Structure 1
Amino acid sequence: MRILKMIVLSTALVSPFAALADAPTPTITVTGEATVQATPDMATISLGVTTQGATGAEAMKANTEALTKVIERLKGAGIDDKDLQTQNLSLNPVWSSEGLSSSGAQTITGYSAANILSVRVRDLAGLGGVLDAAVGDGANTLNGLSFDLSQPRPAQDEARKAATLDAHARAELLAAAAGVKLGRVLSISESQGYGGGMPVMYDAKAAAAVPVQAGQVGMMASVSITYEIAQ
């Protein structure tokens, strides 16, 4: 009987400490954001050739001949093979509602072939000349162009640092307003993004001199930090 009482007493003494150990650690979580602007040093153009023919074979043949000339001109303008990539290749019937069949269905009047290239231009000073060369040799489809950084890591790292400092400043502000102090860092996570300018659309019927403004691109970072609230 005496042993049983000792066990019960021991349990009663330990339980409050166990409850304290299981209590959640008070924390504060904040998210910092930052964007670093940088001058782009390369561009990517989406261009190609769209042709039509009475048959699919005729449309593809005309497309192949025209695109071959465009590729040769692009290489002559200094574009390397590694910077040329087929982006899309399609062959579709051309439908017409004129002269409907007896059942009222549309009829096929021909075929349209399209071959789109992704062209990476590493010398922005010659970008206008590249566009002129491509259009001059038959490129009649231009979906636009975008600017980028060939080495984005330095700008990304600067954005990460700035976002981390922003998160810490926010945490200190909130802690001071709540009358508490920040403790150790419990976790850090980050997400990043790219904020380039809007794609530039180009009219294939424009004058020979193509004015292109690269502007700046933005490297964005978002960092979330969880701090322990000091007791």
Structure 2
Amino acid sequence: MTDEVQHPAAPYGTPGTPRVAVRGEATLQVEPETATLAVTASARGKDRRAALQDLTRRNTAILELARGYGGAVEKLESGALSVSPELAQHGRGEKVRAYFGHVRITVVLNDFTALGELTSRLADLELTRVDGPWWALRPGSPAHRDARRQAVRDAVTRAREYAEALGAELSALVELSDPGAEGARPPAPGFAGSRMFGSPGAAPGASDDAPVIDLEPQRQTVYAQVNARFTMSPPAL
């Protein structure tokens, strides 16, 4: 009885079964799904407790204002809080001149009709800085799936065009790979530059008649790429 030896397929095909390797790409421009604001409240006073009380009051005002927009605010998170002494620049010893504090709050919205109004009202708060918005898609956005599907279709179209140029036809798919799984990274999508609203001279409280800022959503770039290898019939050379 003779053992049959199986020979692996040639990695680059054979004259009887040529291979064609292509890269499929897709770039989509889609509307963003979320807008993120970074809100920073500050306080400064000669007394540590007074500075902390002012900071607590402003933090509460920001949270209450954001919560008042209901489902339009998808996420509301408190970040770093800091209260530190500010030393006098002149004189001997460690003399504290004042205490400075700040707290950072992240607000994520999914309803852009409320974005301009909320941004204006936050910027109208006392000693409050607003940065953003940063437009984005959710990690599981259907736009990523659509881009991947289009990239696969692009790979098939390219391979078929190469085969037809040789008078051949595609036979089978040998390999389909995501470059991300091989260590390569596709280009990162562009993000809107940050905007800063508010100033130390802002009004003491949020005003209902604060001017509403018109913010137009920035379309997001979604990119997908695949590598594909096919076998094809012998070309008519």
- Same fold per TM (> 0.5)? yes
Letter in 2 for 1:204: G
- Please report how far the alpha carbon of residue 70 of structure 1 lies from its aligned counterpart in structure 2 after TM superposition: 1.7
Please give the TM-score of this superposition, normalised by the length of structure 1.
0.71
1:125 partner SS: coil
Matches for 1:85-104 after TM superposition, within 5 Å: 85-94=77-86, 98-99=89-90, 101=92
Among candidates 173, 176, 179, match of residue 188 of structure 1 = 176
More displaced, 39-48 or 106-115?
A: 106-115
Letter in 2 for 1:39: E
RMSD: 3.7
- Tell me the residue number matched to 1:203: 197
Distance 2:196 2:135 in 1: 14
Distance 1:199 1:99 in 2: 40
Distance 1:110 1:189 in 2: 60
Q: 2:135 touches 2:192 (CA, 8 Å); kept in 1?
A: no
% identical equivalent positions: 22
CA 1:227–1:203: 2 relative to 1, 3 Å: same
CA 1:25–1:211: 2 relative to 1, 3 Å: same
- Please report how far the alpha carbon of residue 75 of structure 1 lies from its aligned counterpart in structure 2 after TM superposition: 2.0
- Tell me the residue number matched to 1:70: 62
1:135 aligns to 2:126 (yes or no): no
Distance 1:221 1:109 in 2: 56
Among candidates 113, 121, 132, match of residue 101 of structure 2 = 113
- Tell me the residue number matched to 1:218: 221
1:40 aligns to 2:32 (yes or no): yes
Which has a greater percent of helix? 1
- Please report how far the alpha carbon of residue 178 of structure 1 lies from its aligned counterpart in structure 2 after TM superposition: 7.9
More displaced, 73-82 or 219-228?
A: 73-82
Distance 1:109 1:30 in 2: 67
More displaced, 50-59 or 116-125?
A: 50-59
- What do residues 114-173 of structure 1 show as CA deviations (whole Å, max 9, x unaligned)? 211111222211111111222223362223212234695332222112111222233345
1:21 partner SS: coil
Aligned length, in residue pairs: 212
More displaced, 148-157 or 33-42?
A: 148-157
Say which one has the larger Rg. 1
